[in-house]
Amino acid sequence: MTVPERISWALSHLGFEPVDRLLEVGCGRGVAIAMIAQKLGDGHVVGLDRSDSAVKAAKERNVDAIASGKVEIVESTLADYTAEAGRFDKVFAINVNLFWLEAMRELAVLKPMLAPGGGLFLFFEPPGISQIETIRRAVEIRLKGAGYLVDEVVAGPTPNTPLLGIIARPAN
């Protein structure tokens, strides 16, 4: 399986541990989840996507990891998804435009799902390098407005590659 650069780059910044509990918002066909599942010990990853065809493909790709209990794939929008409070150590999304367009309701839904000390990891691959700064500003404004603190902004992996990562956590 060929892994898109944006996914391997994003996962290199996720820094998850084998025991972490993770949520991927917009898991698509489950490529990132498959990579994570290979490295999980007692951890667990939930993939969330609103597309029934994406969910079907993600379930097919991760059938063994689902059977082992390491992976769960759920068809739902983030705004409609409910999870036990404090369930996830890390929530991440790769190329989910919602987070730089309008995500106040979704960011509010995510807050109680994060375990104490948990983090939100948002990764983007804009069509061009010139859009990185616009997206960064838009995401930071939304995060701050929803009560998150931005811990780190990463770009790369080279100056000409339009990839952006924003790592945040709830302010309280």
Which segments of the chain have a pLDDT < 50? none
User: Which pLDDT score, from 0 to 100, does residue 158 have?
Assistant: 73
User: Which pLDDT score, from 0 to 100, does residue 123 have?
Assistant: 95
User: Which pLDDT score, from 0 to 100, does residue 98 have?
Assistant: 80
Amino acid code (one letter) for 137: R
What is the pTM (predicted TM-score) of this model?
A: 0.94
User: Which pLDDT score, from 0 to 100, does residue 69 have?
Assistant: 95
Question: Domain containing 98: what range?
Answer: 5-170
Cα separation, 44 vs 51, in Å, equals 22
User: Which pLDDT score, from 0 to 100, does residue 170 have?
Assistant: 95
Number of domains in the chain: 1
User: Which pLDDT score, from 0 to 100, does residue 82 have?
Assistant: 86
User: Which pLDDT score, from 0 to 100, does residue 1 have?
Assistant: 67
> For the residues of the chain, what is the DSSP string, one character each?
-PPPHHHHHHHHHH---TT-EEEEES-TTSHHHHHHHTT-SS-EEEEEES-HHHHHHHHHHTHHHHHHTSEEEEE--TTT----TT-EEEEEEES-THHHH--HHHHHHHGGGEEEEEEEEEEE--SSGGGHHHHHHHHHHHHHHTTEEEEEEEE-SSTTS--EEEEEEE--
CATH number at residue 142: 3.40.50.150
